[in-house]
Chain A
Amino acid sequence: MRSKHRPTVRRATIERPLMNNESHNKYWKSLAERDGSRSDNGVNPQDGSPFAISRRRFLEAAGFTLSLATMQGCGRTPTETALPFVQQPEGVIPGRSQTYATTCAGCTAGCGLLVKVRDGRPLKMEGMPEHPLSHGGLCAIGQALPLGLYDSHRLQHPLKDGESAEWEGVDQLISQQLSDIESGGEAVRFVTSTVTSPTLQSSIDNFLERFTDARHITFDAVSSSAILDAHEQTHGSRVLPRYRLDAAQVIVSFGADFLGTWISPVEFTSAWRTRRVPTVEHPEMSYHVQLEGRLSLTGSNADRRLRLAPDEYGLVLSHLYAKLAQRAGESLDQDDLGTAPIADDELTALADRLWAARGESVVLCDSQDVAVQVLVNGINHRLENYGKTVDIERPSRQRQGNDGDVLELIDELNAGKVAALFVAGTDLTHNLPDRDGLAEAIGKVGLVVSFSERLDDVSSLAGFVCPDHHPLESWSDAEPVDGVIGLSQPLLAPLGDTRSVVESLARWSGNDDSAYDILRANWEQSIFPRLESEESSPFVRFWDQSLHDGYVEVAPTTEAVGEFQADAIKPIGDSPATDDCLSLYSKVGLTDSRHAHNPWLQELPDPVTKVTWDNYVCVSPAKASELGLSDGDVVRVESTGTDVGLELPVLIQPGQHDRVLAIALGYGVKGTDRFADVGPQWLEARPTVEPGQFVGKNAAGLIEPHEGTLHYSRGDVSITKTGRRHELASTQEHHSLEVPARVAPPGAEKRDVVQETSLTAFAEDPTSGTPEVHHFGDVQLWPEDHPKTGHAWGMSIDLNACTGCSACVIACQSENNVPVVGKDEVRRQREMHWIRLDRYYSGEGDDVDVSHQPMMCQHCDNAPCETVCPVLATVHSEEGLNEQAYNRCVGTRYCANNCPYKVRRFNWFEYPHGDELQNLALNPDVTVRSRGVMEKCSMCVQRIEEGKIEAGRLGEPLADGQVQTACQQSCPAQAIVFGDMNDPESAIAKALEGPRRYGVLEEFNFRPTVSYLRMVRNRDADESGDHHDHDAEGGDHV
C-alpha cells in the first residue's frame, strides 16, 4: 500500500489482482469478490432480483456491516448483529473510505477518475485534479457510474441463444465455430465503438490475426467520421485533432456542442473556462461564436450565437473561407457561392476576428459532410491553427468511428458474406438506420457474439452474449489522447459472472491469462518503452506509480502527418435550402443509448430544455405558430417519400432555427420499460413509461447514410400534427427572466436574479451590471446576536464559468442520496434534485440569450425558513449553515413556502428503495430521508464534519480546500468555490472580494452565504443592454 501525500485525497492502489480468483487471496475486499468465481448460483438474469445471494455475501463482508436480525422475543427493539472480519484486511478501517485512481469509461473521453470506496463499495466518483485532460472535472455521466454498476438488469451470465449458459460451454462452442471459420477462410468482423484502450486494441488485433478475412470496424453511435475522413484528404492521415481550446482566443463552432456532448466535453469545458473569466487586472476573455440550428448547451454559452441550419454550414464556411483568403491576399471568387444565410457584415466581422487571432483561434464543426469538414480544415490551416489550437501531432483518439467501414459492413451483411460478427461496446442495431433490415442481415451470420453488459437490441440478435464487466469491475486502460494513458483498476470484484472482453478474446485464442495479466504484459511491452524518462527505472516501479496516479504521460506514437493538401478544398456553393431540416443530436447526460438504463441520467433535466425522461421534437416558436403547435402536441416527423419516421411530442425551443427540427438520439432503448414504476405508485400516478413502450423513441431510423458517412442532419423531412398529446416532464415551467407582459409591473419586467454585463462595460467599471435596487447593505434590524467566530462556510458560483452542464446535479444526487421520482412526479414539479440549474432566456425576437444559474440552498444568515419551523427542525449552525434535521421535521412545508429561492425539497412519498442492489449506491454518510420530511442542500455537511473530525484527529487546522462540496468537486469549469469565509487566505474569501460578486435577492436582507459572480459576455456595451421592450410574451412558455 503506497500513498503519496496529497492535500485532498488519500489514494491507495490494489496491488493484488482482484480478478485472480483461483489465487491464494486470503484477504478479500468482499465476499462477492471471494465468491466471484462461483458460477453455479443459477439465477436467471431475467429474474427480478438476481442479486439476492451475492448482495448478501457482499454485505456480510463489507467490513462492519450490520444486518437486521429477527425480532427478539422479549427485546424492545430488533436485535442487530455486528459481524467482524475473520481476518482484518490491512488498511481497511470500517466506515472510512479510501480513494482509488482510475479512468472513467462513461464515454470515450477518458477523464481521470478518483473513486471513493467504502467498506468494499465504490460509492462516489470524483474528478482527478491532476489529470492532464479533465483537470478535476467530471461530467454527469461519470458521476452516475455507480448506478450503472449496481444495476440489477445487468447480465449475470453468458447467454447462449438467449438462455443462461456457462462460460465453459460458451467458450467451447465459440472456439469450435471460430476454428471452422479460420480453416474455411471466412469473414470475421469485429465491431466496436471507439477503442481508446491500447490493450483492448492489441487484444482485438491479436485475436483477428489468425483469420484471413478479418476486420475490426469502429462504429460510433454518434460519430465524427467526417472529421477523420477530411483529415485523410487534407493531411493524408485519418486522425481526429485534439482541439486546444485553452489556447484559443476566438472559438467559432458550427454546431459542435463541445461543452455538452461533442467528443470530450469535460476536457473542452475545462480548457474553454481558462479564458472565460475576466478579472479586474485582466479584463479579457475569449470570443466564442456559435452557429447552429438548434439551441445547444454550447450555443447557450456563446458570446454571439447565430442561427444557421446544418445544411447551410458548407455555404457559410465557404464564404468565411473566401473572406479569409481575401485577407491572406488571395482573391477567391465569391459570386458563384450564392447568398450566405448570414448577414455579410456579420461574416466580415467574424472573419476579421478570426484573422486577427491567427494561431489563436479555432473553427469547429460537427458536420458529417466530409466536404464541409475539409473546408473547416482549410480555414484552420489558413488561420495557422494547426500545431497550436488544432493538434494533429498528438491527436485525439476519442472518436475513431469509420462510417465508411460501417456502411461497407452493412453491405457485406446484407450480401451474407460475414461468417462471424462480434459486437462490443455499442448497440449496433439500435444506433443505425433500417434496424429491421440490419437485424435480418445479422440473422444470416453464423456466429454472432455480443459483449454487451445488458440484453440490448444487438444482443437479442446474438447467438452468444458474453457480458463484459462494468468498467468499475475490470482492469483496463485508455489512451484518449496520444501519449496520455489512463489506467483502470477494479474497485470491487464483479457482481455477476461476467468477463472482460480482453479475457474472452484470450480464451478463444487459447490463452488463459487474466485481464490483469494481459494488461500488465501489454504495458510492459508497449507502454513502458514509450516512457520519456532519463533515469531508467524498473517496470514494477512504473506500473505501481501509474496505478497509483491513474494515468501516465508517455511519448506519442508519432504518425507522419502529411503536407496540407490545399487542392482538397472545394467551396460549397449550394443555394440556401428552404425545406425543413432535421437535426439529430445527443443529449447531455445520455449521449448515445449506453446510459439509458441509468435513472439518474434519465431524470437529469436537459440543460437547455429542462425536460426529463423523454425525447421530443424541438421546433422554433415561429414554426410552432405556423403549424399551430404547443408544447406536448405529438407530431410525426417523416423522411419525405418514405415511411421512415417517428411520432414524438413537440417542444417549442426559443433560439432555434425556424427550419430546423431537432430530435435527440439515444432514446427508445430496449429494456427501458423497466422504468414503468420507477416513481411512487398511487391512485393518480401515471407510469413513467407506458406499457409496451420505452423511454422516448429511437430516432436512429432517420440517420442518413450519405457519401460514406452517417449524416445526423438531413433536409428531406416533413412534420405533421397528429392531434394527440403527450405531456412532457419539464422541471421549469417559466423560462424567462422577464415576467409575462400581461402581469409585469411597469419598469420591472425583468428580474435581476441573473446579473450580467458586457466585457467592455466590465473593463470600464468592474461593478457594471449592478441593478439599481434599494440596497440596504449590511444594516441589521436587530443587534448581531450570532457572531460566527469559528468557521463561516460560504460558496461562490461564477456564472461566467458555469456552462449549465449539470454535472453538479448528479454529483449532488450521488453524494446526498437524492431519490429518483419518475416522470409523473417531475410533471407535478416535484423533482428532488438539491441543485436546480435555472435556465433563463432573455433577449428580443428569435435570438435569445441564455443564462444558467445553479440554484441550491443559499444558507441565508437571516433565513426565512428557520423562523417559521415550529419544531426547530431547521436552524442555523454556529458556522453559518442552514441545517435541516430530518429526524426532527414534521413536514409542515412552511419553510419551503417561505423560502424565497424555492430550493427546499419535500419527500412527498416514501420513494422506492426496493432495489437492494441499487441501494448499495447510497452514501452511508447521509441519512436516507423518509416520507413527509423536508430536505435541501446541506453544503455537504457530512464532508465538513468528516474534514473537521479528521483534522482534529491529526491535530492540524482544517486547510482551505480540504473540504470540497460534491458539486464543487465535480464542476468541470471550476465555477464553484467553497470554503471558510473567516479565513482571509481562503479561495472563497478572495472570490467574494471581487467586483462581480452579488447575492440573489440580497436586497431583501436574507444575507445568503452563497454568492454569485456576475456574468460577463464578450460583447460591446451596447450589444447586451437590458431587453425591457421584450415583445408580448415571447419568452413566456407557461
Chain B
Amino acid sequence: MHRTIVNVILLVGLFFGLIVLASGMSEWRLPDNQQGYAPQQPIAYSHRLHAGELGIDCQFCHTAAEHGRHAGIPSTDVCMKCHKYVTSSFDVLQQEIKLADEKKRKPETVISTELQALYDTLGLDDPKQPIPDDAKSIPWVRVHNLPDYVYFDHRAHVAAGVTCQKCHGPVESMERVRQFESLSMGWCVNCHREATEDGINGHAVKASTDCATCHY
C-alpha cells in the first residue's frame, strides 16, 4: 500500500518532469546561440511601422552600413528629423485636428507614450525645441551580438549586394527586433560558400572562407 503511494507520486513527478523538460527542449539552443533573442528596448520602436508600413529604407537610419564596419544605430537627431512634427500616430493627430476644427481652436500637440519617452531622454519639453547639449543618448539594447574575436564588416556585405534581410530576417515585419538567424560560424560559412558558388544577384563574388576573413 505504502509502496503504491510512493510509486504513484514518483510517476506523477516523472510526468511533470518530462513536461518541463519538453518545454525546455523547445527553447533548447546550443550555448552562445542567441537565435530568437528579442530584448525589450527602452523605447518600443517599431521596425514594422517604419521599415514595413512606411517603407523607410534601412540605410536611411543605419547610414554607416555602407561606409563602415558597424551599421550604426542612428543618432537621436535622425529621429527628430520627423518626430519634431510627428508626435503621435496619424489617426490620433487627425482626430485632434478634427476635434480642434469642431471646437474652433488650435490643435493641441498630442504626444504618444513612446514618443514622450524619446523626448524625455532628450530632455525636451516641446519637440520643436532644439536638442539641448546635455541630452542623453537612448540606451538601446543590442540585439545582434557577435563574439569579440569575430570581425564582421557591414561595408563588405552591402558592397557585395547582400540584402539586410539575409542576416537580419524580415525586420520590416518585426514589431520588436529579434535575432532571426543563429549567427553561428557555420551559418556564416555556409552563406560564404553559397555566395562564392552561386554569386549574389547574378554577379560573381569571392566570399572567402579563410579564417582571417573574420578572425584576427
Contact = CB atoms under 8 A, between A and B. Distances in A.
A706 interface: no
Contacts of B98: none
Contacts of B74: 84, 88
Nearest to A955: B159
Nearest to B133: A26
Contacts of A642: none
B30 to A, nearest CB: 11
A84 B140 contact: yes
Interface stretch (B48-56, B104-112, B149-157, B164-172): B149-157
Contact of A86 (B67, B122, B147, B160): B122
B141 interface: yes
B146 to A, nearest CB: 11
B178 to A, nearest CB: 13
Contacts of B131: 86-87
Given A77-B145, A96-B67, A942 B208 contact: no
A93 B215 contact: no
B210 A86 contact: no
A72 B39 contact: yes
A84 B75 contact: yes
A94 B70 contact: yes
Given A84-B73, A86-B137, A76 B149 contact: no
B34 A77 contact: yes
A926 interface: yes
B137 A83 contact: yes
B34 A84 contact: no
A952 B135 contact: no
Contacts of A84: 72-76, 137-138, 140
Contacts of A949: 153, 155-156, 159
Contacts of A75: 39
A953 B122 CA distance: 35
B119 to A, nearest CB: 13
A952 B153 CA distance: 12
A640 interface: no
A95 B68 contact: yes
B73 A64 contact: yes
A986 B72 CA distance: 36
B25 interface: no
A926 B78 CA distance: 31
Contact of A952 (B137, B160, B213): B160
B42 to A, nearest CB: 9
Contacts of A944: 212
B127 to A, nearest CB: 15
Given A879-B210, A953-B155, A82 B73 contact: yes
Interface string A876-902: 011101010111100000000000000
A927 interface: yes
Given A83-B140, A84-B75, A84-B140, A64 B70 contact: yes
A87 B136 CA distance: 10
A950 interface: yes
Contact of A96 (B69, B136, B208): B69
B211 interface: yes
Interface in A851-892: 875, 877-879, 881, 883, 885-888
B27 to A, nearest CB: 10
A85 B156 contact: no
A953 B73 contact: no
A82 B140 CA distance: 5
Contacts of A88: 74-75, 77-78
With most chain B CB atoms within 10 A of its CB, the pick from A81, A881, A928 is A81
Interface in A927-956: 927-928, 938, 941-942, 944-945, 949-950, 952-953, 955
Contacts of A883: 210-212, 215
B77 A86 contact: yes
A81 B140 CA distance: 5
B212 A95 contact: no
A931 to B, nearest CB: 14
B64 interface: yes
A77 B211 contact: no
B208 A878 contact: yes
Contacts of A77: 32, 34, 145
Interface residues of B, number: 48
Contacts of B150: 887
Given A85-B75, A93-B68, A885 B155 contact: no
A313 B151 CA distance: 58
A887 B215 contact: yes
B149 A887 contact: yes
Interface in A35-86: 60, 64, 66, 69, 72, 75-77, 79-86
Contacts of A790: 206
Q: How large is the interface on A (under 10, 10 to 19, 20 to 34, 35 or more residues)?
A: 35 or more
Contacts of B75: 84-88
B67 A887 contact: no
A925 interface: yes
B72 A950 contact: no
Contact of A95 (B70, B141, B145, B208): B70
A925 B212 CA distance: 12
Nearest to A78: B145
B104 to A, nearest CB: 39
A75 B36 CA distance: 12
A955 B205 CA distance: 12
A84 B121 CA distance: 12
B108 to A, nearest CB: 27
A871 to B, nearest CB: 12
Given A64-B72, A81-B140, A952-B160, A942 B151 contact: yes
Interface in A951-980: 952-953, 955
B139 interface: yes
A26 B206 CA distance: 43
B149 A927 contact: yes
Nearest to A944: B212
A355 B216 CA distance: 55
Contacts of A950: 155
Contacts of B156: 949, 952-953
A938 B34 contact: no
With most chain B CB atoms within 10 A of its CB, the pick from A69, A96, A949 is A949
A945 B151 CA distance: 10
Contact of B68 (A87, A96, A945): A96
Interface string A348-376: 00000000000000000000000000000
Contacts of B70: 64, 94-95
Interface string A86-111: 11100001111000000000000000
Given A84-B74, A96-B69, A885-B215, A877 B136 contact: no
B148 interface: yes
B216 A95 contact: no
Contacts of B34: 76-77
A34 to B, nearest CB: 8
Interface string A422-435: 00000000000000
Given A95-B69, A949-B153, A927 B216 contact: yes
Interface in B28-42: 32, 34, 37, 39
Nearest to A874: B211
With most chain B CB atoms within 10 A of its CB, the pick from A60, A69, A83 is A83
A885 B160 CA distance: 25
A926 B216 contact: yes
Contacts of B141: 69, 79-82
A879 B145 CA distance: 29
A69 B131 CA distance: 26
With most chain A CB atoms within 10 A of its CB, the pick from B39, B155, B211 is B211
12 contacts: A34-B133, A76-B37, A84-B76, A85-B137, A86-B135, A86-B137, A877-B208, A883-B211, A885-B212, A887-B147, A945-B153, A949-B156
Given A938-B212, A952-B156, A955-B159, 7 more contacts: A26-B133, A80-B145, A82-B73, A84-B74, A93-B64, A927-B148, A949-B159
A-B pairs, top 3 by smallest CB distance, nearest first, are A85-B75, A88-B75, A877-B210
